[in-house]
């Protein structure tokens, strides 16, 4: 899917990475206030306890959390989709960190020629 940058529909200053399927892209700064609502269910609190970086990068994760804060419940499909999206982001971060590592041996490793 092709992705491009578009200005936030709310503040018109920040750019958001979006695709053709998102009608109203909103930046993290505009949704930050809505994300800090109270979550009383311990199971949901644990599910939403992910790095803030994930929320900054993914509008879908922000929307799911805001929906839970507003309506105090989610469907099973929403929960599954949230968990899949988080796993996918974790895998992408791990791949990116592995590719950043150098292939050169460290001085501590014993090298035999």
Q: How far apart are CA 39 and CA 48, in angstroms?
A: 9
Q: Examine residue 106 and state whether it is found in any structural domain, yes or no.
A: no
Q: Examine residue 2 and state whether it is found in any structural domain, yes or no.
A: no
Q: Is-above-0.85 flag for pTM?
A: no
Q: Examine residue 62 and state whether it is found in any structural domain, yes or no.
A: yes
Please answer whether residues 57 and 86 qualify as being in contact, where contact means their C-beta atoms are separated by less than 8 angstroms: no
Q: Examine residue 16 and state whether it is found in any structural domain, yes or no.
A: no
Please answer whether residues 11 and 1 qualify as being in contact, where contact means their C-beta atoms are separated by less than 8 angstroms: no
**Full domain range(s) for residue 68:** 27-96
Q: Examine residue 13 and state whether it is found in any structural domain, yes or no.
A: no
Q: Examine residue 105 and state whether it is found in any structural domain, yes or no.
A: no
Rounded to 5 degrees, what are φ and ψ at 6? -140, 150
Q: Examine residue 110 and state whether it is found in any structural domain, yes or no.
A: no
86: three-class secondary structure by DSSP: helix
Q: Examine residue 108 and state whether it is found in any structural domain, yes or no.
A: no
- Domains of the chain: total: 1
Q: For residue range 44-83, list pLDDT tens digits in order.
A: 999 999 999 999 988 899 999 999 999 999 999 999 999 9
Q: How far apart are CA 66 and CA 61, in angstroms?
A: 9
């Amino acid at each position: 899917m092709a992705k491009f940058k578009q200005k936030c529909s709310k503040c018109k200053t920040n750019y958001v990475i979006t695709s053709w399927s998102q009608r109203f892209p909103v930046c993290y700064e505009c949704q930050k206030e809505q994300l800090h609502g109270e979550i009383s269910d311990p199971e949901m609190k644990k599910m939403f306890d992910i790095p803030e970086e994930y929320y900054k990068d993914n509008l879908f994760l922000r929307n799911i959390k805001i929906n839970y804060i507003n309506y105090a419940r989610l469907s099973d499909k929403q929960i599954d989709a949230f968990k899949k999206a988080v796993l996918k982001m974790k895998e992408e971060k791990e791949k990116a960190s592995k590719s950043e590592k150098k292939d050169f041996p460290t001085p501590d490793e014993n090298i035999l020629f």
